[in-house]
A and B are shown apart, each in its own frame.
Chain A
Amino acid sequence: MCGIVGLFAKTDDVQARLGAHLASMLLEMNDRGPDSAGVAFYRRPAPAGGSKLTLHHPDLGYDWAALAAGAAAEFGGEPDVHRRDNHAVVTVDGPADEAEAWVDAAHPEVRLMSAGSVIEIYKEVGLPRAFVERFGVAELDGSHALGHTRMATESRVTTDGSHPFSTGLDLCLVHNGSLSNHNRVRKHLRREGIAFRTENDSEVAAGYLMWRMREGATLDQALEGCLEDLDGFYTFAVGTADGFAVLRDPIACKPAVLAETDEWVAMASEYRAIATLPGAEEARIWEPEPATVYSWERVAA
């Protein structure tokens, strides 16, 4: 099964309460995915020239201050770290790819959840209801966010196997469905230099998008490539620095509902998640067509 939710704010008010809205949407999808949950929030951009890393360490007593001090010594600036349960967001005064490489080398004990200028990814095993509490999802603000509740089918229930999957700087993917050719595609992508941490099928879709965009494809082109190269059932939602995109496979067995008002754009596996939003009863509501890429972007003011 699995549940997907996404919310894109069009007003300051929705931005300020984005976490509260997304949390109530995610709670409605609790029963569709009781194994694990996760969210990607796009919020509070790093200062120009800087970047944000979201990191995970299973030990709640992990010394994040020391890690942040190390980053500041390496890149300059003041140490800047915000812990959220067993995750932490570290802001670094340097480009994201360099910060990522530094963490990999200096702190192999932590796992990178996301890297970029605005993205923060939090995910953990257990009931979505518990996840929302533990990580204080309702407190988060942001311009847009995606969430996922997982009912595992293709691989183990682990933090790494939870969604969203990072697919590159400021990019992430959530998936409802199952891919049938993921072993073959993973083998191909490994030869292309894409690294995988799990046997998870959705991670292969994330790796596929990463590879296509590394080779020069736009997000829309990379998603259209999925229609050719990925076999199986899927509704994908992809978060970008400026917005999000939705794609369903040509058979479209997996559900998706889109809704839009003057204040927000929302997507969810089921309408009942959207029903929690203000003005949902008056929203324009439709089902995305199969094999069609839908995307929203924030227009620079």
Chain B
Amino acid sequence: MSATAGTVERVDLAATSLRDLNQRLHDQAKAAEPIGHWQVLNPSGAHALACGLDAPIEVEIMGHAGYYCAGMNKLATVTVHGNAGVGLAENIMSGVVRVTGNASQAAAATGRGGLVIVEGDASARCGISLKGADIVVRGSAGHMSAFMAQTGRMVVLGDAGDALGDSIYEARVYVRGAVRSLGADCVEKELLDEHRDEVSELLAAAGVEGVDPGEFRRYGSARKLYTFHVDNAGSY
């Protein structure tokens, strides 16, 4: 491998198999001198692109991605220049995953750390079962987003669909636009200074400028469902 820092390693999926690409990306975790910058050409909606990365490298996908792109990402920065299919950055651990277009269902599902940025719209169940990752959606998020989200933060600059935050635990959700409906046990909460600071921090991390954090509304758990009642603690 002759590539060095400052150069871009280009992999054309019209000529290289997906398995070879992912293997080469995985190998960077153990490489003495990892290749820092990759571009994937002709992705054509292939599934499982750049999954399971575990190195501080930058991967650009030059087109639309299929299902489970950048799943389980650790340390890497993955950018999709296009749309992404179902399960973008599923179970992300750390690093940054950015999509310049729209993301399909269940973006950042079960994510435990890191940041997922959707510059267009996110579809249904964005941030479902979130466990610590951060999500910034510049457009709107679909129905049942943040379903059973346990911890982590989600910022939506546009609107949210039906049943936002259904059965949510301790995750914090901020929406600037309209919320079509709230899910079971999800309520609007007061936006305090600490929350404005949190929104500002997330917007800055996502590269969003000129948006007043005071325009957002905060949503979270009313803590009224079964699991929150101390009377039920002895049931286990």
- Of A51-59, A69-77, A229-237, A267-275, which stretch is located at the interface? A267-275
Q: Which of A271, A281, A289, A290 contacts B66 (CB 8 A)?
A: A271
Asked if A272 and B44 make an inter-chain contact with CB atoms under 8 angstroms apart, the answer reads yes
Q: Which residues of A contact B104 (CB under 8 A)?
A: 255, 257, 287
Asked if B124 lies at the interface with its beta carbon under 8 angstroms from chain A, I say: yes
Residues of A near B83 (CB, < 8 A) are 271, 285
Find chain A residues with CB under 8 A from B121 CB.
286
Instruction: For residue B68, give the distance in angstroms from its CB to the closest CB of chain A.
Output: 12
Cβ B66 vs Cβ A270 within 8 A: yes
Residues of B contacting A285 in the complex (Cβ-Cβ under 8 angstroms): 64, 83, 101-102
Decide: B123 and A272 in contact? CB cutoff 8 A: no
CA distance A166 to B44 in the complex (A): 32
Given A285-B102, A287-B104, A270 and B124 contact (CB-CB distance below 8 Å): no
Main secondary structure of the interface of B (DSSP, over half): loop
CA distance in complex: A275, B83 (Å): 12
Knowing A255-B86, A270-B66, A271-B64, say if A286 contacts B102 (CB, 8 Å).
Answer: yes
Q: Cβ of B63 and Cβ of A290 under 8 Å apart? A: no
Are B85 and A271 touching (Cβ within 8 A)? yes
Q: Do the beta carbons of A270 and B44 come within 8 Å of each other?
A: no
The reply on B46 being an interface residue by CB < 8 A is yes
CA distance A101 to B167 in the complex (A): 56
B74 at the binding interface (Cβ < 8 Å): no
Are A252 and B124 neighbours in the complex by a CB distance under 8 Å? yes
Residue B56 interfacial (CB < 8 Å): no
**Residues from chain A with Cβ under 8 Å of B64 in the complex:** 271, 275, 281, 285
Asked if B143 and A271 sit within 8 Å, CB to CB, the answer is: no
Docked pose: A270 CA to B47 CA in angstroms: 10
Interface residue from A252, A270, A286, A287 paired with B45 (Cβ < 8 Å): A270
Q: A252-B143, A285-B64 are in contact. Are A272 and B45 (CB under 8 A)?
A: yes
In the complex with contacts A255-B86, A285-B102, A287-B104, A272-B124 CB distance below 8 A: no
The reply to whether B45 and A271 contact each other, CB–CB distance below 8 Å, is yes
A275 touches B101 (CB 8 A): no
Contact A287 B66 (CB under 8 A): no
Q: How far is the CA of A290 from the CA of B144 in the complex (A)?
A: 11
Give CA–CA (A274, B82) in the complex, Å: 14
Give Cα A199 to B85, complex, Å.
33
Instruction: Give chain A residues whose Cβ lies under 8 Å from the Cβ of B124.
Output: 252, 290
Q: Nearest chain-B residue to A255 (Cβ)?
A: B86
- B54-79 interface bits toward A, Cβ cutoff 8 Å, 1 = contact, 0 = none: 00000000011011000000000000
A272 partner residues in chain B, CB cutoff 8 A: 44-47, 66
- A283 to chain B minimum Cβ distance, whole angstroms, is 10
Question: Of the candidates A270, A286, A290, which one forms a contact with B85 in the assembled complex, judged by CB atoms under 8 Å apart?
Answer: A270
Having A285-B101, A289-B142, one finds 6 other A-B pairs with CB under 8 Å, namely A252-B105, A257-B104, A271-B83, A272-B45, A274-B45, A285-B102
Binding site for B on A (CB under 8 A): 252, 255, 257, 270-276, 281, 285-287, 289-290
Top 9 A-B pairs, shortest CB-CB distance:
A272-B45, A271-B45, A275-B44, A275-B45, A287-B123, A271-B64, A252-B124, A272-B66, A285-B83
Question: Can you list 23 A-B pairs with a CB-CB distance of less than 8 A?
Answer: A252-B124, A255-B85, A255-B86, A255-B105, A257-B104, A270-B85, A271-B45, A271-B83, A271-B85, A272-B45, A272-B47, A275-B45, A281-B63, A285-B83, A285-B102, A286-B102, A286-B121, A287-B102, A287-B104, A287-B105, A289-B142, A290-B124, A290-B143
